[in-house]
Amino acid sequence: MNLEEKISKLFEKLDTLEHYANVMHILNFDTNTICPEEGREYENESYALIASLAYKITKSEDYINLVKEINAEKDKLDPYKKKLIEDLYREISNNEKISPELFEEATKLSSTAYNVWLKAKRNSDYKKFAPTLEKMVKMRKKLIDLRPQKEKTYYDTMIGDFEQNFYIEDYDAFFQKIKDALVPLIKKIRESKVKIRTDFMKRKYPLHKQEEFSKYLMEVVGFDMNKGAISTTEHPFTDTLARYDSRITTHYYEDNFISNMYSVIHESGHAIFGQNEPDEIYDNHLQNSMTMGMHESVSRFYENRIGRSKEFIHLIYPKLRELFSEQLSDVSEEELYLGVNAVDLNQPLRTEADELTYSIHVLIRYELEKEFINNPEFDFSKLNKMWNEKYEEYLGIKVKSDKEGVLQDVHWTDSYGYFPTYAIGNAYNAMYFNKMNEEIDVYSLIEKGQINKITDWMKEHVFKKASLLHPKEWIKDITGRSLDPQDFIDYITNKYSEIYKL
């Protein structure tokens, strides 16, 4: 077989794998949206059956040899295929020495950890979770030991699994700047006398009108309804199942229409990314090679830079007043803008955090997991105490219970090194916002409702190479600069200084 034939044989296998993945995504979407409670167990078994078919292919000698052989000649490939082979080869190498038994053991441990965490959280009792967390960390390190290529430390390796070519030194520098700038800013806001009106946000907004509002918002931001859909789930998410199938979900609360509003814009951002990647990406099986940081930068761009701007509020205010004439009769445009940007300095949950404090929530997790992964002497029984101290020091928040503290997130039941990616999306998008704003008048386009022109810029500069380049190369390709949180810091400092009259 020559190289071309090998590629074509590999692509056949990838086609099948992608169909299995599509089926699994649909089953997962179905389970989360419509499947009745008692039907879920059987549906999960169906899922496991399809997953095992996919697993068999990726573990077959045939497949592994193809990837290895092509990898040996990767420099002859076009950039798309080269990136694909690098990704597949890394995946194969990382897993090759993991026996099916160890793989199963790790999967089981992680699902045990999930159940232990869930119970511990319900009882707000971190002590019950600590030993399992320690076991999980050991298991993750054991799996890393089996890799042919590792980074300097365990935590560096873990970081790279989620944001390629990123290391502790990158995040240390990044978070230091964030901390130096935002912690004092938050203190000032705590002392500010400005009181923002939020009473109207808790009024009752009928669910079916919120549904109508969701569709309006999706249209305004440019979600393509021919290539996507919306449904409801407990926790909103986006899933790009296939080239022409990007779905979002939301959750409606009668007494919190803002929650749905920003879920819809955020998830639409993710979907717009999926709907607008170029054909080359899909043709070359590269649709899943973006990092979380890159993806979140886009969803937050639509959610915050667009959706929480004065201009956007100006754009949608008439429709909101029309839909909710009763609830918003005494609310001005300015009050609405301030309301959606208010900071609540008493609430300890990351998922409920505002644009400003969000990065600090992530910073705390970063500092803690770096420590408990890389320090072999780490005392897991003290993690909740350390957590609470940092919340008090950085945010002035007194965490009242483990449930609202160290146990609030599910992530540590499964993986480590993922949290920091939550923070860099805002830094990426602040950088490309500034670049974009040199070329087109972003805020004026928002105000005029011409978000399609902003998305056109995003297609050309942000979406086009996202799956092709590593994040560091990518942000340089867009802006000509290396990742720097300063753009975000400047933007957020200005915005909140104005809002809280600092």
CB closer to a copy of itself, 39 vs 131: 39
* 267 belongs to the catalytic site: yes
User: For the chain, first and last CA: distance in Å?
Assistant: 69
Residue 133 Cβ vs a copy of itself, minimum distance, rounded to whole Å: 34
Residue 147 burial class via C-beta count within 10 angstroms: exposed 0-12, middle 13-18, buried 19 and up: middle
* Residue 240 backbone phi and psi in degrees, to 5: -90, 100
CA 271 to chain centre: 12
Amino acid at 412: W
Nearest residue to 103 via CA among 58, 134, 46, 148: 58
Tokens for 470? 């590593």
- To the nearest 10°, report the CA torsion of 80, 85, 91, 97: 180
Angle at 283 between CA 278 and CA 286, to 5 degrees: 75
CB closer to a copy of itself, 252 vs 337: 252
Strands 228-232 vs 245-250: parallel, antiparallel or unpaired: parallel
CB closer to a copy of itself, 49 vs 173: 49
CB closer to a copy of itself, 210 vs 384: 210
CB closer to a copy of itself, 274 vs 348: 274
Tokens for 165? 């070519």
Instruction: From the candidates 41, 101, 169, 267, give the one annotated as an active-site residue.
Output: 267
Amino acid at 296: E
Neighbour tally for 334: CB within 10 Å: 13
CB closer to a copy of itself, 132 vs 260: 260
Give contact residues for a copy of itself (rule: CB under 8 A): 16, 19-20, 22-23, 26-27, 29-30, 33-39, 41-43, 45-46, 49-50, 53, 208, 225-229, 231, 241-245, 247
Name the one residue in this structure whose structure tokens are 């810091």: 489
SS3 378: coil
Residue 94 Cβ vs a copy of itself, minimum distance, rounded to whole Å: 27
Tokens for 108? 């089981």
CB closer to a copy of itself, 28 vs 71: 28
Nearest residue to 175 via CA among 4, 403, 420, 368: 420
Q: In what order do the strands lie in the sheet with 228-232?
A: 228-232, 245-250, 238-242
Phi-psi region of 406 (alpha: psi -120 to 50; beta: other; left: phi over 0): alpha
Active site residues: 267
